[in-house]
Amino acid sequence: MPLKTAKRLFGEHFTPKEVFETYIYPEIKNCLYEHIWVDLFAGEGNLILPILEHLKESERVSFFKERIFLFDIQQRLVEKAIKKAVRYGIPEEIARQNIKVQDTIKNYPSWLLKKESPVYHITNPPYLYVGYMPKQESTRRLLEYFVGEKEGYQDLYQLALINDLKEAYPCRA
Ligand SMILES: C[S@@+](CC[C@H](N)C(=O)[O-])C[C@H]1O[C@@H](n2cnc3c(N)ncnc32)[C@H](O)[C@@H]1O
Protein backbone atom coordinates (compact mmCIF):
# COMPACT_ATOMS: atom_id res chain seq x y z
CA MET A 1 0.00 0.00 0.00
CA PRO A 2 1.45 3.44 -0.90
CA LEU A 3 2.52 5.40 2.20
CA LYS A 4 0.17 8.27 1.36
CA THR A 5 -2.80 5.89 1.37
CA ALA A 6 -1.67 4.35 4.67
CA LYS A 7 -1.45 7.79 6.23
CA ARG A 8 -5.01 8.62 5.18
CA LEU A 9 -6.46 5.21 5.96
CA PHE A 10 -4.85 4.74 9.35
CA GLY A 11 -4.49 8.35 10.51
CA GLU A 12 -0.73 7.83 10.70
CA HIS A 13 1.04 10.81 12.37
CA PHE A 14 3.93 9.98 14.64
CA THR A 15 5.03 11.71 17.80
CA PRO A 16 8.75 12.52 18.02
CA LYS A 17 10.59 11.02 21.00
CA GLU A 18 11.36 14.57 22.26
CA VAL A 19 7.67 14.94 23.12
CA PHE A 20 8.01 11.95 25.44
CA GLU A 21 11.07 13.41 27.15
CA THR A 22 9.67 16.93 27.54
CA TYR A 23 6.01 16.35 28.33
CA ILE A 24 5.32 12.74 29.19
CA TYR A 25 8.23 11.42 31.22
CA PRO A 26 8.11 14.21 33.84
CA GLU A 27 4.42 13.34 34.45
CA ILE A 28 4.93 9.61 34.90
CA LYS A 29 8.42 9.15 36.28
CA ASN A 30 7.28 8.74 39.89
CA CYS A 31 4.73 6.05 39.20
CA LEU A 32 6.38 3.79 36.64
CA TYR A 33 5.94 0.70 38.82
CA GLU A 34 2.31 1.41 39.68
CA HIS A 35 0.79 0.85 36.23
CA ILE A 36 0.94 -1.04 33.02
CA TRP A 37 1.69 1.29 30.11
CA VAL A 38 -0.45 0.83 27.03
CA ASP A 39 -0.69 2.42 23.59
CA LEU A 40 -3.52 0.87 21.57
CA PHE A 41 -2.44 2.95 18.51
CA ALA A 42 1.29 2.74 19.01
CA GLY A 43 2.83 3.35 15.59
CA GLU A 44 6.58 2.99 16.11
CA GLY A 45 6.16 3.07 19.88
CA ASN A 46 7.59 6.53 20.64
CA LEU A 47 5.11 7.37 23.38
CA ILE A 48 5.99 4.47 25.67
CA LEU A 49 9.13 2.59 24.64
CA PRO A 50 11.47 5.46 25.69
CA ILE A 51 10.52 4.69 29.32
CA LEU A 52 13.07 1.88 28.98
CA GLU A 53 15.91 4.34 28.50
CA HIS A 54 15.25 5.68 31.99
CA LEU A 55 15.56 2.26 33.65
CA LYS A 56 18.72 0.41 34.64
CA GLU A 57 19.61 -2.07 31.90
CA SER A 58 19.21 -4.94 34.39
CA GLU A 59 15.56 -3.95 35.03
CA ARG A 60 14.44 -3.37 31.45
CA VAL A 61 13.44 -6.89 30.39
CA SER A 62 11.28 -7.67 33.43
CA PHE A 63 9.72 -4.19 33.34
CA PHE A 64 8.90 -4.58 29.64
CA LYS A 65 7.45 -8.09 30.11
CA GLU A 66 5.15 -7.03 32.92
CA ARG A 67 4.33 -3.43 32.12
CA ILE A 68 4.55 -2.43 28.46
CA PHE A 69 1.89 -3.37 25.87
CA LEU A 70 1.70 -1.85 22.39
CA PHE A 71 -0.68 -2.48 19.50
CA ASP A 72 -1.05 -1.17 15.98
CA ILE A 73 -3.12 -2.27 13.02
CA GLN A 74 -0.15 -2.04 10.64
CA GLN A 75 2.38 -4.88 10.60
CA ARG A 76 5.05 -2.57 9.12
CA LEU A 77 4.88 -0.27 12.17
CA VAL A 78 4.72 -3.11 14.67
CA GLU A 79 7.96 -4.45 13.17
CA LYS A 80 9.56 -1.02 13.62
CA ALA A 81 8.43 -0.84 17.24
CA ILE A 82 9.82 -4.35 17.88
CA LYS A 83 13.18 -3.28 16.41
CA LYS A 84 13.15 -0.26 18.70
CA ALA A 85 12.48 -2.43 21.75
CA VAL A 86 15.36 -4.69 20.73
CA ARG A 87 17.63 -1.62 20.58
CA TYR A 88 16.68 -0.95 24.22
CA GLY A 89 17.90 -4.44 25.11
CA ILE A 90 14.66 -6.43 24.94
CA PRO A 91 15.08 -9.88 23.32
CA GLU A 92 13.09 -10.06 20.09
CA GLU A 93 10.88 -12.99 21.17
CA ILE A 94 9.87 -11.08 24.32
CA ALA A 95 9.29 -7.89 22.31
CA ARG A 96 6.96 -9.85 20.01
CA GLN A 97 4.87 -11.04 22.97
CA ASN A 98 3.93 -7.50 24.02
CA ILE A 99 3.96 -5.58 20.71
CA LYS A 100 1.18 -6.90 18.52
CA VAL A 101 -0.72 -6.28 15.31
CA GLN A 102 -4.34 -5.74 16.29
CA ASP A 103 -7.31 -3.65 15.22
CA THR A 104 -8.00 -2.30 18.69
CA ILE A 105 -11.06 -0.32 17.61
CA LYS A 106 -12.73 -3.55 16.57
CA ASN A 107 -11.10 -5.85 19.12
CA TYR A 108 -10.30 -4.18 22.42
CA PRO A 109 -7.69 -6.22 24.31
CA SER A 110 -9.80 -6.47 27.47
CA TRP A 111 -7.42 -9.02 29.03
CA LEU A 112 -5.26 -5.99 29.89
CA LEU A 113 -7.86 -4.89 32.42
CA LYS A 114 -7.38 -8.12 34.36
CA LYS A 115 -3.73 -7.43 35.10
CA GLU A 116 -2.64 -6.69 38.65
CA SER A 117 -1.68 -3.08 37.98
CA PRO A 118 -4.13 -0.62 36.43
CA VAL A 119 -3.81 0.38 32.78
CA TYR A 120 -2.36 3.81 32.01
CA HIS A 121 -2.95 4.79 28.39
CA ILE A 122 -0.53 7.06 26.59
CA THR A 123 -1.62 7.49 23.03
CA ASN A 124 -2.15 9.62 19.99
CA PRO A 125 -5.08 7.99 18.22
CA PRO A 126 -5.90 7.98 14.50
CA TYR A 127 -7.94 10.97 13.29
CA LEU A 128 -10.39 11.01 10.41
CA TYR A 129 -13.73 12.80 10.10
CA VAL A 130 -16.54 10.42 9.26
CA GLY A 131 -17.80 12.78 6.53
CA TYR A 132 -14.62 12.18 4.48
CA MET A 133 -14.85 8.40 4.61
CA PRO A 134 -17.39 7.75 1.83
CA LYS A 135 -15.45 9.95 -0.60
CA GLN A 136 -12.53 7.60 -1.20
CA GLU A 137 -12.33 3.89 -1.89
CA SER A 138 -9.49 3.52 0.63
CA THR A 139 -11.39 5.06 3.55
CA ARG A 140 -14.87 3.69 2.83
CA ARG A 141 -14.29 0.51 4.84
CA LEU A 142 -13.80 2.62 7.99
CA LEU A 143 -17.55 3.30 7.99
CA GLU A 144 -18.07 -0.23 9.30
CA TYR A 145 -16.82 0.97 12.70
CA PHE A 146 -19.66 3.50 12.98
CA VAL A 147 -22.55 1.10 13.43
CA GLY A 148 -24.63 -0.09 16.40
CA GLU A 149 -23.65 1.65 19.62
CA LYS A 150 -20.97 3.55 17.69
CA GLU A 151 -23.47 5.14 15.30
CA GLY A 152 -23.53 8.93 15.55
CA TYR A 153 -19.86 9.39 16.41
CA GLN A 154 -18.05 11.88 14.20
CA ASP A 155 -14.43 10.84 13.96
CA LEU A 156 -12.11 7.84 14.24
CA TYR A 157 -10.41 9.44 17.24
CA GLN A 158 -13.67 9.36 19.21
CA LEU A 159 -13.94 5.61 18.75
CA ALA A 160 -10.30 5.24 19.67
CA LEU A 161 -10.71 7.28 22.83
CA ILE A 162 -13.73 5.30 23.97
CA ASN A 163 -11.40 2.32 24.23
CA ASP A 164 -8.83 4.31 26.12
CA LEU A 165 -11.48 5.54 28.53
CA LYS A 166 -12.68 2.06 29.46
CA GLU A 167 -10.54 2.42 32.57
CA ALA A 168 -8.82 5.53 33.80
CA TYR A 169 -6.60 5.87 36.84
CA PRO A 170 -4.76 9.01 37.89
CA CYS A 171 -1.07 8.85 38.63
CA ARG A 172 -0.90 8.93 42.44
CA ALA A 173 2.65 10.28 42.74
C1 LIG B 1 -1.70 9.25 14.95
S2 LIG B 1 -0.80 7.71 14.74
C3 LIG B 1 0.01 7.68 16.32
C4 LIG B 1 1.15 6.71 16.48
C5 LIG B 1 1.89 6.77 17.83
N6 LIG B 1 0.97 6.64 18.97
C7 LIG B 1 2.64 8.08 17.95
O8 LIG B 1 2.11 9.02 18.55
O9 LIG B 1 3.76 8.16 17.40
C10 LIG B 1 -2.16 6.57 14.89
C11 LIG B 1 -1.76 5.11 14.75
O12 LIG B 1 -2.94 4.33 14.92
C13 LIG B 1 -2.86 3.19 14.08
N14 LIG B 1 -4.22 2.71 13.86
C15 LIG B 1 -5.18 3.22 13.03
N16 LIG B 1 -6.32 2.54 13.13
C17 LIG B 1 -6.09 1.54 14.05
C18 LIG B 1 -6.89 0.49 14.57
N19 LIG B 1 -8.15 0.32 14.19
N20 LIG B 1 -6.34 -0.34 15.51
C21 LIG B 1 -5.05 -0.17 15.90
N22 LIG B 1 -4.23 0.80 15.42
C23 LIG B 1 -4.75 1.65 14.51
C24 LIG B 1 -2.16 3.72 12.82
O25 LIG B 1 -1.54 2.68 12.10
C26 LIG B 1 -1.16 4.72 13.41
O27 LIG B 1 0.09 4.14 13.63
Its pTM surpasses 0.85 = yes
d(CA 140, CA 150): 16
Q: Where are the domains of the chain?
A: 3-164
Q: What is the pLDDT of residues 101-139, one digit of tens each?
A: 999 999 999 899 889 999 999 999 999 999 989 888 888
Enumerate residues 6+ apart whose C-beta is below 8 A from 90.
52, 60, 61, 64
- Mutational pocket test of ligand 1: of 3, 41, 74, 133, the residue with most ligand atoms within 8 Å of the beta carbon: 41
CB 9 within 8 A of CB 139: yes
Ligand 1 atom closest to Cα of residue 127: 1
Of 8, 1, 10, the C-alpha closest to 40 is 10
Lowest mean pLDDT among 5-9, 12-16, 81-85, 113-117: 5-9
What's the whole-number average pLDDT of the chain? 90
The three-class DSSP label of residue 158 is: helix
Of 167 and 75, more confident: 75
Q: What is the pLDDT of residues 75-109, one digit of tens each?
A: 999 999 999 999 999 999 999 999 999 999 999 99
| Rg of the Cα atoms in the chain | 16
Instruction: Kindly report the protein residue whose alpha carbon is nearest to atom 6 of ligand 1.
Output: 42
Looking at residue 117, its pLDDT comes to 94
- Mutational pocket test of ligand 1: of 73, 76, 138, 153, the residue with most ligand atoms within 8 Å of the beta carbon: 73
Instruction: Kindly report the protein residue whose alpha carbon is nearest to atom 27 of ligand 1.
Output: 43
Looking at residue 139, its pLDDT comes to 87
Measured in angstroms, how far is the CA atom of residue 67 from the centroid of ligand 1? 20
Report the pocket of ligand 1 as residue ranges, CB < 6 Å.
10-15, 39, 41-43, 46-47, 71-74, 77, 103-105, 123-126
DSSP alpha helix (H) spans, the chain: 3-10, 17-19, 25-28, 57-67, 75-87, 92-98, 137-140, 156-164
Instruction: Kindly report the protein residue whose alpha carbon is nearest to atom 20 of ligand 1.
Output: 103
Ligand 1 atom closest to Cα of residue 74: 25
Looking at residue 69, its pLDDT comes to 98
| 3-164 is a CATH 1.10.3720.10 domain | no
Name the band, by pLDDT with cuts 50, 70 and 90, for residue 12: confident
Asked if residue 170 has pLDDT above 60, the reply is no
Looking at residue 58, its pLDDT comes to 96
Instruction: Kindly report the protein residue whose alpha carbon is nearest to atom 4 of ligand 1.
Output: 43
